[in-house]
Amino acid sequence: MIECKNITKIFNQNRHNEQIALKNINLKIKKNELTVLKGASGSGKSTLLSLIAALSRPTKGEIIVDGKRVSKMLENSTAMFRRENIGFIFQKYNLISTLNSYENIILPTIPSNPNEKELTRHVDTLLEMFSITNKKQNSAAADLNICERHRTLKDNSWMCILHQYHKASRLKACTAIGIMW
């Protein structure tokens, strides 16, 4: 479950260019519930997802994900939390340009020393699911077009989820799905 309690996020607080991105947001997303975040550009959708994913901290309020108070975690704990629980596709394509699609996809699993045979099987499934051809999976990320980069990022996020499923025998990364447009 994801719970946001009285979340406020202020950028440049107490400065002349202070901007309130979120104010007193309360949200509860139950496990396996589909949630759509819809709003105009600049309405705070990405900011809210960034806070839930522990990529930044709220100015005020508390965020709880699967019983963990992520808004209160220390930095090294948030890094571990993100690695083990979050699959995130950023608005900017954060691929490592010198790595190919396959290498970018397996990147989230490397710190936990995965079983190579299982890893290859999962990646092959994802590559097929998102129509990344052999030629493209061996191309450097810098050589991929925007659609191919996006599919690689989807594979990277799904790889994180599949890896956690394999490790924990359940989809704990699938607490909820956020869709933005």
Strands 68-69 and 60-65: antiparallel
pTM, rounded to two decimals: 0.58
The confidence score (pLDDT) of residue 115 equals 76
- Kindly calculate the radius of gyration of the chain based on its CA atoms and give it in whole angstroms: 18
Question: Where along the chain do its domains lie?
Answer: 2-85, 101-170
The confidence score (pLDDT) of residue 89 equals 61
Number of Cβ within a 10 Å radius of residue 110: 11
- Residue 37 is which amino acid? L
Distance in Å from the first CA to the final CA of the chain: 23
Q: What is the pLDDT along the chain (181 residues), one digit of tens a residue?
A: 899 999 999 999 999 998 999 999 999 999 888 888 888 888 898 899 889 988 899 999 999 998 999 988 988 888 888 877 776 666 565 677 777 777 777 776 776 666 778 777 777 777 776 666 554 455 565 565 556 655 555 555 544 444 444 444 333 333 333 433 3
Instruction: Tell me the two tokens of residue 102.
Output: 């396959």
3-state helix, strand, coil in the chain (%, to 5): 45, 25, 35
Class of domain 2-85: alpha beta
